[in-house]
């Protein structure tokens, strides 16, 4: 079964530092997403990416956030200057045109101290 792979599984960073979360979506998928989940809360949409550009972003996705698809396989989320409230699980997901219903990765737990 194809998987969405995320690395690292856990990252601890100091407030103000930059972090890059990495994802390898399923190879024939065309839509890519980042979501986050603060501990004990629901999953929240951050950004969607299609055809090498952002197609939609939420209010959470401010100027501190950026996404990139640097090559044909990786999809990254960068947080420029982390804040304590950025601590959460970050999930990458990808979707094909044929079947709606994403495949999520296992997530990266980001802890900002």
Partner 1 sequence: GQQLNQSPQSMFIQEGEDVSMNCTSSSIFNTWLWYKQDPGEGPVLLIALYKAGELTSNGRLTAQFGITRKDSFLNISASIPSDVGIYFCAGQKGAQKLVFGQGTRLTINP
Binding site for partner 1 (CB under 8 A): 4, 31, 33, 35, 41-45, 48, 50, 55-56, 58, 91, 93, 95, 97, 99-107, 109
Closest CB 52 distance from partner 1, rounded Å: 16
Closest to partner 1 by CB, 70 vs 100, is 100
**How many Å apart are CA 88 and CA 39, to the nearest integer?**
6
Closest CB 82 distance from partner 1, rounded Å: 21
Closest CB 23 distance from partner 1, rounded Å: 11
Query: For residue 54, how many C-alpha atoms fall within 13 Å in the half-sphere facing its CB?
Result: 15
For 111, list phi and psi in degrees, rounded to 5. Answer: -120, 120
Nearest residue to 72 via CA among 18, 9, 6, 26: 26
């Amino acid at each position: 079964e194809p998987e969405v792979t995320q690395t690292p599984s856990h990252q601890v960073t100091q407030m103000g530092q930059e972090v890059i979360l990495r994802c390898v979506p399923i190879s024939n998928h065309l839509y890519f997403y980042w979501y986050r989940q603060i501990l004990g809360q629901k999953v929240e949409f951050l950004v969607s990416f299609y055809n090498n550009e952002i197609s939609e972003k939420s209010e959470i996705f401010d100027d501190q956030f950026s996404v990139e698809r640097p090559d044909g396989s990786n999809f990254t989320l960068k947080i420029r200057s982390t804040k304590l409230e950025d601590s959460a699980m970050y999930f990458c997901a990808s979707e094909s045109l044929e079947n709606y219903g994403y495949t999520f990765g296992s997530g990266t737990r980001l802890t900002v101290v």
